[in-house]
Homo-oligomer: A and B are copies of this chain.
Amino acid sequence: MGVTIHDVAARAGVSIKTVSRVMNAEPNVRDAVRERVRAAMADLDYIPNAGARRMASARSLLIGLFFHPRLASYITGIQLGAARQCRDRDYLLAAEPIEWPEVDVVALIERTVRRAHLDGVILVPPQSNDLEIVALLERLQVPFVRVSPTAEPDRGASVFVDDRRGAVEATRHLIELGHRDIAFLGGPLASKGSAPRPRRDGFLDAMADAGLPVPEGRMIYGEFTFSSGQRCADTLLSARARPTAIVAANDAMAAGILSAAARRGLKVPGDLSVTGFDDAEIASVVSPALTTIRQPLEQIGAAAADMLLAAQPSGKLDPVRRRLDIELVVRESTAPPRSD
Contacts and interface: CB of A to CB of B under 8 A. Distances in A.
A339 to B, nearest CB: 23
Given A73-B73, A226-B281, 11 more contacts: A48-B115, A52-B55, A69-B80, A72-B72, A76-B97, A83-B96, A84-B99, A90-B115, A93-B96, A226-B285, A286-B287
Contacts of A311: none
A51 interface: yes
Contact of A47 (B60, B114, B226): B114
A45 to B, nearest CB: 9
Interface in A272-310: 281-282, 284-288
Given A51-B51, A287-B258, A94 B92 contact: yes
A263 interface: yes
A116 interface: yes
B97 A116 contact: no
Interface string A50-79: 111011001111100000010011001101
A84 B286 CA distance: 31
Contacts of A282: 282, 285
A15 interface: no
A95 interface: yes
